[in-house]
Structure 1
Amino acid sequence: MEYGKVLRFHRVKQGLTQNQLADGIISPAYLSKIENDQTVPAFEVLEHLYERLGLDFHDSSYHHPSKEKLKEWYEMIVFKRKEEARKLKEELIQQKDTLNNHHLYIFFELFRIRHLLLENEVEEAYKAWKDIRQHEDTFDEEMEYYFHLSSGLVSYYQEDYENSYSELMEAKNYSTSIKLEGWEESDLYYLLALSASQANNISASIFNAEHALAIYQKQYNLFKSANCHILLGINYGRLKNYGKALENYHLVSKIATQTNNYYQLGVIYHNIGVIESRLGNFEAAISNYKKCLSYRTETASDHEIFETIYCLVFETYKIGELEDCRKWINEGISHLNSSSSDTTTDEIHLKVYTMLIDNDENASEYLESVAIPHFLEKKHHRFVIRYCMIVADLLESERSYKKSTKYLRLAIDLLNKYSNLGGIVL
């Protein structure tokens, strides 16, 4: 057993310095060597140090029954069995060893990060991640795997997709030295595919999605297989291989219809709408977005519902159906008023199109000073491109040719770099 790591973990957890723990037992310098596994002290020394920390020196948890319970809890989290996960979490908290034992506590906290994300408590998850990070030098390889996987998930929810993919790749490196079950391996590949897609790394996303799909199919997991097909459809759509994209979406449609999965049906109709829009079939795009909303009203998040409403605003404005556009703007406002999440980004979208419909003379100033800087900061390049093109036209009509050219150039530069943007992922 790695006594040094256990000592350091509990010392830090209890807010003690090395001087305070070592006082009257050994020198602080010698304690430092113990904590860094540079020496093996006598059992009597360890017993005294453990006693001061209120620990049982003879306890071992590497094969403790609670570890199996923790993995059972983690599986519930991965498969999004929310009610079961909540119930088992409370049971685990009641077990003294879960919170007092170094080994069990680390795993509990690492798994809790993902549970908080499942419950959409992103800030709490980030706080838990920061707290556990201070103990990283006490981690074994299995802990490192879950730590980097959790880091990747936290970054994903913070929309830092490049760092998310990097952290998940680090988790994959650790996975080679530990034994993952099949469902964990497929989960890792799917998360890699998801983060790679959002980071615009299309080839890596397709590679990992196909690996995840192969495992899910062997497990006869229809839901997860459908998620992989959705991701493949999005990536092939970005490569403008629309036939391959639609092939994947139609496979999902069959699976989701058989399983009555309205959430997945909402996702595919949204993404078919994206393809139709990119093909210039705007009426077909609008029709698919409306179908999407009919499924999304009870099964999707507030953000996902607004995403589709925004697309209807965009499409109706683009074809000059301004009354319909205003109707969808009002629908968006009503939706945001009932939402409990941060709606700043969505409010900016609706404000832009309201000003455009009303021919508001301050539209170009709002785009320059508020909208474009906001989406640049968020790294939402799709919207930066869109609003740069709009403001360039407005500025040209105002004869501000130099400023118009600046935004047109920014849009072109981003288009060259991110020419395959589009699609909504799970």
Structure 2
Amino acid sequence: MKIGDRLKFTRLKKEMTQEEVAEGIISVSYLSKIENNQVTPSKEVLHLLCQRLGIDNLFHERMNELMKQIMLWYKAITDKNEWKAAEMYEKIKKMIEYFNDAEANIYFLLMEMRYYLFMKNISAAEAAMMQIRELYNAFDHEMKYYYYKFFGLLYYCKEKYEEALEYYKKAEELFRLQSFPKWEEADLYYLLALAYSRLWKMLSCINYVQCALAIYQADYNLKRSAECHVLLGICYRRYGELDKAVECYSLAQKAAQMVNDIELLGIIEHNLGYLKSMKKEHREAIRHYENSLVYKKHATLADRFITLFSLIREYYVSQNYRKALASVEESLQLLKQHSEPISYEYYLHFTVYQYLLSRDVSEQEFEMFMKNEVIPYFQKHKKYEDVAQYAEYLADYYERCHKYKLASKYYKMSYDFLKKIIPI
């Protein structure tokens, strides 16, 4: 960051006008030129301006150490070390307040936004985003790189995957203009792969995740390598290459076991359950889903719900209606009782199966619920697999009612949405 940018940032942070800073030292117009990096002030003028802004020495010798600590904090976040990241956050926050350096402040704000996203505090991340946007004009290329990367991650967390990918691609362009460590390159590639996966662009996903995996393996980073294997397994599963998917999940499982990553093991068991479901091996699928829930015992309710829903669906497909209904009722009760904000999506999922399994619900209620709430919601959020499944359920209902024209309409909808995700 240039001298003028540092001075302007500190002045704005202190909510001082140019007149207040320049008074008795230089003219306002000259200060404006300094802040816009049009002129370089003399040492004497710079010293006086720093005094006015409450900065003893703009280039304090300990700034390098502070910047080093900020980047170590960011590395702890990227490595998903929650305890270390939380500890360092409090320490660095105090250092930032004490030194009041413009460049360090910008990096802290950027990394603070990334920290909030890591801690799943989306509202705090959005508040940080608004503050960061106001400083964008003072950013150099490296700051802009983090800006685009973290904004991409925010949109990803909000399930706006096209916007996320757009920001990630901008970050990738800036990445080539700077010198970054290999682990940063791997992290960016992994995030790009995730976004491509959500958009069902499997070739791009595989390309980026393999690049990330090569770096993590060279660095013996077992946890991140396991995450890459999981993502590759999902890609191969979607392509119908189930044996390759099993191989990827097995490699991920071995790596996760070596580092005793319970959260990751829960994710792997869930994906193995989905794979077995695709192969119509219902008993094995149920076993893996149940194992996943054991690993997810202390996970957030949102993380557990995806597996609970999959287990309900598996019970239903295997005609174990008693267990399916019991799990639906238990899950809906959890939704009502728990204070943690849960996506409306799971309410819809569980209620669909409640309608399918319960004798107390009229067929007309089911029809209206599917047509007016369920299918439009998943269409809007581009959850194509769910649209295809629920359109088929509604088509089955119309067929039973001998409403063949409507049945044909929803079977076609199911087929059309399957084509969006599977080359048919």
CA contact (8 A) 2:302 2:342 kept: no
Query: What's the CA shift for 1:15?
Result: 4.2
Cα deviation code 1:230-261 (max 9, x no counterpart): 11111111111111111111112223334433
Unaligned runs of 5+ in 2: none
Cα deviation code 1:353-395 (max 9, x no counterpart): 1112125220110112222222233332222222222223324
The answer to whether structure 1 residue 286 and structure 2 residue 289 are counterparts is no
Taking the TM superposition and a 5 Å limit, the aligned residue runs for 1:277-356 are 277-298=277-298, 300-336=299-335, 337-338=337-338, 340-356=340-356
CA contact (8 A) 1:277 1:285 kept: yes
Query: What's the CA shift for 1:283?
Result: 3.0
Taking the TM superposition and a 5 Å limit, the aligned residue runs for 1:184-223 are 184-223=184-223
Q: Sort the Cα spacing of 1:273 and 1:12 in 2 relative to 1 into closer, same or farther, 3 A.
A: same
| 1:236 paired residue number | 236
Which deviates further from its counterpart, 340-349 or 403-412?
Answer: 403-412
Q: Which amino acid aligns with 1:275?
A: L
| 2:374 paired residue number | 371
CA contact (8 A) 2:394 2:410 kept: yes
Which has the bigger relative contact order, CA under 8 A and spacing at least 6?
1
| 1:156 paired residue number | 156
Which deviates further from its counterpart, 267-276 or 102-111?
Answer: 267-276
The answer to whether structure 1 residue 262 and structure 2 residue 262 are counterparts is yes
Query: What's the CA shift for 1:301?
Result: 3.0
CA contact (8 A) 1:152 1:163 kept: yes
CA contact (8 A) 2:217 2:225 kept: yes
Q: Sort the Cα spacing of 1:355 and 1:23 in 2 relative to 1 into closer, same or farther, 3 A.
A: farther
CA contact (8 A) 2:197 2:235 kept: yes
Q: Sort the Cα spacing of 1:131 and 1:401 in 2 relative to 1 into closer, same or farther, 3 A.
A: farther
CA contact (8 A) 2:384 2:420 kept: no
Separation in 1, partners of 2:19, 2:407: 65
Identity of aligned residues (%): 34
Separation in 1, partners of 2:14, 2:58: 20
Query: What's the CA shift for 1:152?
Result: 1.6
CA contact (8 A) 1:302 1:339 kept: no
Q: Which amino acid aligns with 1:377?
A: K
Separation in 2, partners of 1:386, 1:35: 59
Query: What's the CA shift for 1:24?
Result: 8.0
Q: Sort the Cα spacing of 1:27 and 1:351 in 2 relative to 1 into closer, same or farther, 3 A.
A: farther
The answer to whether structure 1 residue 418 and structure 2 residue 417 are counterparts is no
Unaligned runs of 5+ in 1: 421-426
Cα deviation code 1:75-123 (max 9, x no counterpart): 1111122222222221212225667211001111111111112211111
The answer to whether structure 1 residue 388 and structure 2 residue 387 are counterparts is no
Query: What's the CA shift for 1:61?
Result: 7.4
Query: What's the CA shift for 1:154?
Result: 0.8
Count, aligned residues: 419
Q: Which amino acid aligns with 2:418?
A: L
Q: Which amino acid aligns with 1:175?
A: F
CA contact (8 A) 1:309 1:331 kept: no
CA RMSD of aligned residues (A): 2.8
Taking the TM superposition and a 5 Å limit, the aligned residue runs for 1:126-205 are 126-205=126-205
Which deviates further from its counterpart, 175-184 or 363-372?
Answer: 175-184
Which deviates further from its counterpart, 93-102 or 11-20?
Answer: 11-20
Q: Sort the Cα spacing of 1:63 and 1:92 in 2 relative to 1 into closer, same or farther, 3 A.
A: closer
Which deviates further from its counterpart, 320-329 or 289-298?
Answer: 289-298
Query: What's the CA shift for 1:40?
Result: 4.5
Q: Sort the Cα spacing of 1:419 and 1:62 in 2 relative to 1 into closer, same or farther, 3 A.
A: farther
